Structure 1
Amino acid sequence: MMALATGWAVHATFTQHVSSWHLKTFALIAVVAILQTELSRRLERQRRTLAAGPHVNMTSVWLLPAGVLLPGQLIAALSVTLYCYLAFRSWSGTRPSEAHRVAANITTATLSACAAGTVTLAVPALSVTAVCSAGLTYFAVNTLLTGLGLYLANPAKATVESCLGGMDDNLLELATLCVGGLLVMVLSQEPLLSVLVILPLYVLQRSMLIKRLEELATTDQKTQLLNATTWQDGAQREISRAERDNGSFGALMIDLDHFKRINDTYGHLAGDDVLKAVAAVVKQETRAHDLVGRFGGEEFVALLPSTSKEDAIVTAERIRQRISELVIPTQTNEGEEVAIERRTASIGVAAFPLDGASIEEVMAAADAAVYAAKNGGRNRVVGSMPASPRDIVLAAA
């Protein structure tokens, strides 16, 4: 890809004329981009440090207009300028050994911008259709090249989200391209108004950083489920709602059987891969509005609103069956490839208000059912023993 980008720039040098307007536009974009980068340097550094997947920076805001308005050699020059500046000023900790990553980013950005510009050649004048087509082309090429690079960097652990980014990542990239599309029209009509882009970009970066910090504060980082505190807060709100509407909910306590053996045999990194796989199963087998969290260690919890105890037991059985069918590729501490399979889980099921009048009582009942499942031979689902009629009357009083 680097050879292709270099060849494109060299070819443009001999075939595309560079006018004084091109040079002025290039200088204006570079100055405004560097100014915006400098003002948001700390935000960018934090966002990059905390990024869970592919990091989306703001360079497409500047490179899309460059792709549409400038010849290929200036597109490449702008890409080199912006990414080198980012590497030395915003990306704290960039080492010489990581220069290949900067080069890969420059290559991807240059090819994406040049491809976007090529699309507009078929249109005699700038128009909404031309700018939108250029933006979509930039997005498609950039996503494809970035995803391919991330996949080749680590094929064994590559996933669709780790290579192509999540929904939020792609929406952010599309948002920056929308700003870039508007900047195309500004540069072609009133170039000096391009400085007005700086503040919206700063606010966008700041809002994404705040959102990421909120996610980190509420999410278990190993499994991406709710952490124990956030799950407890959500459960308390569900109790209040159920009491107000005279409703009910089911609760699951999921405990992996003999999990310590995995850590002792294969290592803690392999144990983490098992936790992630189980978390994915629990998430897949529950609904979007169910509260699913990691309670600690190898324990998971799920609260199923507006669900009877019987239906909760059916859900728990599906989860138990899926866990037993898992084949989890991972590595030992020594780097040996292994596949962990035939893992099992003991699941306890309780319900509100049948098994308690508070979330603590309901979860205590589910926990007791987990112990009953383990004592009964493990790898099974057990429903809690319902409270006596007298207990229910006292709880209601």
Structure 2
Amino acid sequence: MIEALTVVAMVWLTVTTPAPTQVDWFRFAALAICATIHIQMSRRQEERRRSTRKPTVHIDLTGIWSFPAVVVLPIHLALLLIVLSRTQRWFVARRPLYRFTFSAGSMLLAAMVTYGVLVLFDERRLTELDVPSSFAEFGVLGLAGLVYFGAQALIIGAGAILLSTTKPSIRTVLGTKEDNELEALTIALGILTAILVVNIPAALAIMVVISVIGNRIAEVRQLQVDVRTDPKTGLLNMRGWHEAAERAFERASRANSPSAVLMVDLDHFKSINDTWGHPAGDDVLEVVAAALRSATRPGDVIGRFGGEEFVLLLPDMGTPEAVAAGERIRETVSGLQVPTTDKRGGPVAIAGRTTSVGIAVYPQHGSELDELLKIADAAVYEAKENGRDQVRLASLPRSA
């Protein structure tokens, strides 16, 4: 659907847009050469970024060249530059063809929507501007950047919702905070590139250096995130959880505020793998992780403890609130229906799963995070021994 709409719109714009001038061709060549140098010099970093990333939104820094093309070139040349850039990226990334066509189509559609917004204003004049007109021109460029950013997010988000085999999360559809920060930086650099290609084309060499370095910084930042993240669920792994939870716990304890540690264990999880296969188990873990995010607050720290266990730190939450939160999580998980496949690849929905939840609260049960973690884990085993599918508050220490 998106691909067909893109082709129709491209044909119509190509027929109705005036022929490019020599200046247009010069700017197109300059942007295309810079984009090619950027893509080829950053191909190894891009390969590693894509190979280690869980399927979700992927930010490509080639927007540094495609966005200014929409601003300063006739639209058919801008679309041609995007096609050339995406084709080169495909040879680098070696992604399935349907993903390539969808991502390319989303960028092309976003470019055409942005072009339509720019048409509403006067022709782009990025030279000989006085102070008032420079502010107005910058405002138009900023608006175009927002449209370009938003259109891609909507198209890719809608595609993720329609194509996902499991319940998509906000992270899957819209990307993480870090993803969106990188996209905003790409658009900002694209605005600067548009100004340079019109006024000082030779200075585009500086943007090539910045774009290549930006890819390397993005790779390092992604590796820093990946080392703290569980690849199956997108939650923090134990290393990442402990670092984030320790900071949150210290803030709450300095303020003499209670905090709760919850251990969440999926009951009889092995039976899922035995009955439907390990891919089905992975789908259940992913959907449960999304459910934990939806059942908690933004400031709560959620991680995968290992296997079928999850761990949460709920800052500023005392015993009654923590027990209520545990019950909310238990009920949320029990109401999930997970669309997945069986061992033979046939469709199946897994539902009616239960959880055992153990809770330890600071300062009643302990004064250190690791101590609370052990006590909450022990409470989970008590819940299992007493029949599972329940929330168990840890017993107070005997010295209390």
For this structure pair, what is the TM-score category when the shorter chain's length is used for normalisation? Answer: 0.7 to 0.9
1:187 and 1:194 in contact (8 A); partners too = yes
Larger relative contact order (Cα-Cα within 8 Å, sequence gap ≥ 6): 2
2:383 and 2:389 in contact (8 A); partners too = yes
Instruction: Determine the C-alpha separation between the residues in 2 that align with 1:78 and 1:186.
Output: 17
Q: How far is 1:238 from its partner?
A: 5.7
2:313 pairs with 303, 322, 345, which one?
303
Amino acid at match of 1:19: T
Larger CA Rg, structure 1 vs 2: 1
Alpha carbons of 1:6 and 1:314: their partners in 2 closer, same or farther (altered >3 Å)? closer
Alpha carbons of 1:119 and 1:377: their partners in 2 closer, same or farther (altered >3 Å)? closer
Instruction: Give 1:1-397 correspondences, 5 Å limit.
Output: 1-8=5-12, 10-12=14-16, 16-52=18-54, 53-88=56-91, 90-91=92-93, 93=94, 98-99=96-97, 101-126=99-124, 127-150=137-160, 153-154=163-164, 161-237=171-247, 248-389=258-399, 392=400
Q: How far is 1:264 from its partner?
A: 1.4
Q: How far is 1:370 from its partner?
A: 1.9
Alpha carbons of 1:125 and 1:156: their partners in 2 closer, same or farther (altered >3 Å)? same
1:186 and 1:193 in contact (8 A); partners too = yes
Instruction: Determine the C-alpha separation between the residues in 2 that align with 1:239 and 1:23.
Output: 59
1:248 and 1:307 in contact (8 A); partners too = yes
Please state whether the residue corresponding to 2:227 is helix, strand or coil: helix
Identity of aligned residues (%): 35
Amino acid at match of 1:68: V
1:69 and 1:117 in contact (8 A); partners too = no
1:275 and 1:298 in contact (8 A); partners too = yes
Amino acid at match of 2:114: A
Structure 1 residue ranges without an equivalent (≥5): 393-397
Q: How far is 1:11 from its partner?
A: 1.0
Q: How many residues align?
A: 383
Alpha carbons of 1:4 and 1:51: their partners in 2 closer, same or farther (altered >3 Å)? farther
Instruction: Determine the C-alpha separation between the residues in 2 that align with 1:278 and 1:111.
Output: 34
Q: How far is 1:341 from its partner?
A: 1.8
| 2:133 counterpart residue number | none
Instruction: Determine the C-alpha separation between the residues in 2 that align with 1:223 and 1:339.
Output: 19
TM-score (norm 2): 0.84
Alpha carbons of 1:73 and 1:279: their partners in 2 closer, same or farther (altered >3 Å)? closer
- Cα RMSD after superposing both structures: 2.9
Alpha carbons of 1:247 and 1:108: their partners in 2 closer, same or farther (altered >3 Å)? closer
| 1:395 counterpart residue number | none
Structure 2 residue ranges without an equivalent (≥5): 125-136
1:2 and 1:104 in contact (8 A); partners too = no
TM-score (norm 1): 0.84
Q: How far is 1:217 from its partner?
A: 0.9
How far does the alpha carbon of each residue in 1:283-304 deviate from its partner, in whole angstroms, 9 at most, with x for none?
3333333332221111122222
Instruction: Determine the C-alpha separation between the residues in 2 that align with 1:240 and 1:130.
Output: 45
2:249 and 2:315 in contact (8 A); partners too = no
1:75 and 1:114 in contact (8 A); partners too = no
2:357 and 2:391 in contact (8 A); partners too = yes
1:67 and 1:115 in contact (8 A); partners too = no
